[in-house]
Amino acid sequence: MDTKRGYKYRLYPSKRQLDKLSTQLNLCKDVYNKLLESCIEAYKKDSSFRINRKSLNSLLNKIKEENPRLSGTYSQVLQNVFDRVIKAYENFFRRVEEGNQKPGFPKFKQHYKSITYPQNNGSFKLKGNKLLLSKIGEIPIVLHRKIEGDIKTLTVERNRANQWFAVFSAEKEEKDAVAADPKEQKEVGIDRGLISLVAVSDGTKVAAPKFFRKAEERLKLRQRQASKKKKGSNNRRKAVKKLAKQYFKVTNQREDFLHKLTVMLLRNYTFIAVEKLLVDNMKRNHNYAKSISDAAWSKFLQLLKYKAESAGIQVIEVNPEYTSQECSDCGYRLMKEERLDKSDRIFKCPKCGLEMDRDVNAAINILKEGILKRARAGLAQSNAGGDEASVSDKADASIVEETGTIGPKEGSKLPTKDGSPRL
């Protein structure tokens, strides 16, 4: 089975190349807006209007004839602009068909952030430490890791700090060798928190790096400096660029840390159980929203899942209810008056006397629930296979005994919707 991967690299275009790239973004924005305007006007005249690719493509050709500057843009880049308009308008039709009272027309672009080369047909090519782009030239690129698989598409994008990147999409058949030696593999439960970003059931704890909190004062300073500059001035643009760079630095630090953390986990464990948190609901508690965003729980799980899938490692999400209030040894659940407060960092079982870190205790409970969930899923799959076998036997024999197999249902309890996260 082919798997798709994205590879992102920093570009360092010259001043002349910057002008060409910026010009192409502006031209693509104009083409997008003209195509979209045509669709919106047609729909306002007749609500039964649906996009006709042939007529819209004719309009694109007409726009290219009217604007000779578009000859400096690779044809398939403009074709991708056409595809983006189609996708945006199809999403609009979907909202209309769903009965959305305010479906909202697709919005006109004020800024165009990227251009895409949809086919690897010679329009772009890697030559050593240079990226050759049709109509642009050779741009220095930092290839910090090797691209594995066949390159299919390329997107050149610019962020708000005016930094340029090349994003390649590649397909490959083989799986990544992320997992460790089988002798070292083991099952593990992971509890996510704000003091310890992850607490592992074997006692390992990784402190939350808090990159945003550490950079918060500098971000505030940059924000004040930008707000004091005159709107539209060069000084304001420079200040906004410095502010954006600071924000991107925090984002890059966080993503780098999470990539290394998830790879470390997948190299040491074969089965991982994690709590299923309703992160968006938890962010509604404004006392913790900033810290939860800084911890990037959702990003952590996203990276862990896709890397685990490519490495053949199973990741199961489980209901986190009572995992912090239940003894991992004897199973005793703390009564209402015994419940741990957020400031309590040690779990003490009044029944069996167990005393350990509350996050590690929760991680052990998460692992147990994950193993149970895996067993239920395996039993249900086995039962389903039994039903299929009965059907097959029925085709061969005139009389069969009905199996009546129905696997045990999973607990119907939903994850807690409490706005206060586990610390």
Mean local confidence (pLDDT), 364-380 = 87
Helix orientation angle between 53-66 and 75-97, rounded to the nearest 10 degrees: 140
- Residue 81 tokens read as 């602009």
Chosen domain end from 132, 147, 172:
172
- Phi first, then psi, for residue 313 (nearest 5°) are -105, 140
Q: What is the CA radius of gyration of the chain?
A: 27
- Residue 336 tokens read as 């209402």
Mean local confidence (pLDDT), 295-316 = 90
pLDDT band at 353 (very low <50, low <70, confident <90, very high): confident
Same domain, 152 and 231: no
Same domain, 140 and 209: no
pLDDT of residue 420: 43
Other beta carbons less than 10 A from residue 137's beta carbon = 14
To 5 degrees, how large is the angle CA 115–CA 293–CA 282? 125
Q: What is the pLDDT of residues 255-304, one digit of tens each?
A: 999 999 999 999 999 999 999 988 888 888 888 899 999 999 999 999 99
The one-letter amino acid code at 18 reads: L
Other beta carbons less than 10 A from residue 265's beta carbon = 25
Same domain, 147 and 198: no
Chosen domain end from 120, 149, 172:
172
Same domain, 97 and 136: yes
Q: What is the pLDDT of residues 111-160, one digit of tens each?
A: 899 999 999 988 999 999 999 999 999 999 999 999 988 999 999 999 98
pLDDT band at 404 (very low <50, low <70, confident <90, very high): very low
> How far from 382 is each of 33, 184, 368, 369, 407, CA to CA, in Å?
54, 29, 21, 20, 9
As a residue count, the chain comes to 423
Q: Is 191 a catalytic residue?
A: yes
pLDDT of residue 185: 57
Nearest to 96 by CA among 43, 17, 142, 133: 43
Chosen domain end from 147, 172, 197:
172
Same domain, 278 and 386: yes
The string of DSSP letters for 100-138 reads -S---PPPPPS---EEEE-S-SSSEEEETTEEEETTTEE
**Which residues touch 167 (CB under 8 Å, ≥6 apart)?**
6, 7, 8, 9, 154, 155, 156, 157
Q: What is the pLDDT of residues 87-98, one digit of tens each?
A: 988 888 888 888
Q: What is the pTM of this model?
A: 0.75
Q: Is 83 a catalytic residue?
A: no
Nearest to 145 by CA among 266, 8, 249: 8
pLDDT of residue 174: 61
Same domain, 196 and 95: no
| Mean pLDDT, rounded, of the chain | 84
Same domain, 74 and 167: yes
- For the cut 60, the answer to whether the pLDDT of residue 167 exceeds it is yes
- For the cut 50, the answer to whether the pLDDT of residue 394 exceeds it is no
When divided into structural domains, the chain yields a total of: 2
Catalytic residue among 187, 191, 321, 418: 191
- State which residues form the domain around 195: 181-423
Q: What is the pLDDT of residues 410-422, one digit of tens each?
A: 333 333 434 444 4
Side-chain half-sphere of 79: how many Cα atoms within 13 Å? 7
Same domain, 417 and 275: yes
- Residue 94 tokens read as 């979907």
Q: Is 275 a catalytic residue?
A: yes
Same domain, 260 and 353: yes
Same domain, 339 and 386: yes
Task: Decide: helix, strand or coil at residue 377.
Answer: helix
Same domain, 161 and 198: no
Q: Can you say whether the dihedral through the CA atoms of 257, 260, 262, 265 is positive or negative?
A: negative
Catalytic residue among 275, 294, 317, 369: 275
pLDDT of residue 26: 95
Same domain, 22 and 129: yes
pLDDT of residue 184: 57
| Cβ-contact 221, 215 below 8 angstroms | no
Task: Decide: helix, strand or coil at residue 359.
Answer: helix
Mean local confidence (pLDDT), 167-178 = 74
pLDDT of residue 345: 86
pLDDT of residue 287: 87
pLDDT of residue 354: 87
Cα–Cα dist 59/150, whole Å = 34
The string of DSSP letters for 222-265 reads HHHHHHHSPTTSHHHHHHHHHHHHHHHHHHHHHHHHHHHHHHHH
Q: How far is CA 354 from the centre of its chain?
A: 39
Please tell me the least confidently modeled range out of 182-186, 352-356, 407-411.
Answer: 407-411
Catalytic residue among 317, 326, 359, 369: 359
pLDDT of residue 52: 77
pLDDT band at 215 (very low <50, low <70, confident <90, very high): very high
